[in-house]
Chain A
């Protein structure tokens, strides 16, 4: 467990020394979600209707932006090799890296979403549901994305391949995440959407570090 926390601390320290990499994803999220209201114009009814989808797709793409770097730097400088040979289980270290990725690339999106949602004329309760759905959904995006990042590690043009590999896997999260907010706006029950999102998160938290570890071992051979 200490090794997991050490990995989180290390990755956050590294990100703080190189802030631009983290800020890119956050600014991307802010800019993309702000472009839509500006482009569409002042039509509250339409904006309200498209808000959940826009915010979720932007969150998907912002997460994707940080993914290629998740293991690439450690792979190039050889620290990934040292992790694989460490007495600490590689799965634990990988889980730490995924957690750090979420704290750096996912959590800021969750915190910004209510502010950005205001541009779409969402009311307070809808903003709350949006934040809750993103809170459940963004860790899921990091977990699934880590598998893709590990599978495309060291592949030339891996970034594009990563997007093609990971985006289809994000579809369930997108459907239930955006669906929860849409259902709430339409006055329907949202329990089902959030439960499914939470169930997927639990499943991914259990299997994704393991699958990522297996993919990393193949990449290191």
Chain B
């Protein structure tokens, strides 16, 4: 489904990586590893189509990306909070879905927030939540937005032990349902199997 070959990226004068290639099929996940500054985030941004590659090809379902189909199948959660501080978790979740052209009713959004352990916080402005809770609000999008490919950049940061376990379960469920995931993390991840890519 996802086929990447000969990918190269440089920042200014510095070559970050060259000739990166891998392929992912349904139910598989890729763990991107590397020291700080190795280019993990650059690789992720390149894969989702936020920045152009110096060289190489990315094909999704046999078609070069970025295509509309790819964006429909993709969910990317990066370093940023990507939630609005002045809105409540519930509003954040439903408006983010609405911008993607998906209608999420209040009940579905609430169920996602409860699964992420935010029961009782759904009507507070995100501003007053802790860093880990903000992260959970963002992660709730994984449940409300149907997507095949999850690209999660350092998604395990700021999460407590329980939430790390929970995210591991969510990813495992997603893979079992025929999804795919690309993750970066410095910690060992609580998800079985997986290919490794070291930059």
Q: Please, how many angstroms separate the alpha-carbon atoms of A81 and B45 in the complex?
A: 10
B86 touches A18 (CB 8 A): yes
Chain A residues near B91 (CB-CB < 8 A): 13
Q: How far is the CA of A93 from the CA of B96 in the complex (A)?
A: 12
Measured between alpha carbons, how far is A81 from B74 in the docked complex, in Å? 13
Chain A contacts of B83 at CB under 8 A?
77, 79
Q: Are A87 and B100 in contact (CB under 8 A)?
A: yes
In angstroms, Cα B86 to Cα A77, docked, is 12
Would you give the shortest CB distance from A17 to chain B, in whole angstroms? 4
B 51-89 binary contact with A (CB < 8 Å = 1; else 0): 110000000000000001001101010111111111100
Q: Are B99 and A14 in contact (CB under 8 A)?
A: no
| Interface size grouping (class) on chain A | 20 to 34
Which residues, 2 to 25 on A, are CB-close (under 8 Å) to B? Answer: 2-3, 6-7, 9-10, 13-14, 17-18
Known A-B contacts A2-B101, A78-B82; the reply to A85 vs B71 at CB < 8 A is: yes
Which A32-82 residues sit within 8 Å CB-CB of chain B? 77-79, 81-82
In the complex, whether B177 has a CB less than 8 A from a CB of chain A is no
- Say whether A220 faces chain B, with CB atoms less than 8 Å apart: yes
CB contact under 8 A between A77 and B81, given known A2-B98, A3-B100: yes
CB distance from A198 to the nearest CB of B (A): 30
Interface string of B107-145 (1 = CB under 8 A from A): 000000000000000000100000000000000000000
Q: Do B101 and A3 have beta carbons less than 8 Å apart?
A: yes
Verify if A167 is at the interface (C-beta below 8 Å from B): no
Please tell me if A195 contacts chain B, counting CB pairs below 8 Å: no
| A3 nearest CB across to chain B (Å) | 5
Contacts of A77 in B (CB 8 A): 80-85
User: How many interface residues does B have (CB within 8 Å)?
Assistant: 29
A84 to B51, CA, bound (A): 11
Q: Does A86 contact B (CB under 8 A)?
A: yes
Interface flags, A78-105, vs B, CB<8A=1, else 0? 1101111111100001000000000000
> Shortest CB–CB separation between residue B135 and chain A, in angstroms?
12
Q: Is the CB of B80 within 8 A of A78?
A: yes
Chain B residue nearest to A18 in the complex (CB): B86
- C-alpha spacing A81/B71, complex, angstroms: 12
Which residue of chain A has its CB nearest to the CB of B102?
A87
Residues of A within 8 A of B198 (CB): none
In contact, B50 and A78 (Cβ under 8 angstroms): no
Nearest-neighbour CB distance to chain B for A18, whole angstroms, equals 6
Q: Are B101 and A81 in contact (CB under 8 A)?
A: no
B99 touches A10 (CB 8 A): yes
Enumerate 16 A-B pairs (CB-CB under 8 Å) in ascending A order: A6-B95, A14-B84, A14-B86, A77-B80, A77-B81, A77-B84, A78-B79, A78-B80, A79-B96, A82-B76, A86-B100, A87-B71, A87-B72, A88-B99, A88-B101, A221-B51
List of 9 A-B pairs having minimum Cβ-Cβ separation, nearest first: A78-B80, A6-B98, A17-B86, A78-B82, A87-B72, A221-B51, A10-B95, A88-B101, A86-B100
Interface set of B (CB-CB < 8 Å, partner A): 48-52, 68, 71-72, 74, 76, 78-87, 91, 95-96, 98-101, 103, 125
Known: A9-B98, A85-B71. 13 other contacts (CB 8 A): A3-B99, A3-B100, A10-B95, A10-B99, A77-B81, A79-B83, A82-B76, A82-B96, A85-B48, A85-B50, A85-B76, A86-B99, A88-B99
Q: Report A's interface with B, CB cutoff 8 A.
A: 2-3, 6-7, 9-10, 13-14, 17-18, 77-79, 81-88, 93, 220-221
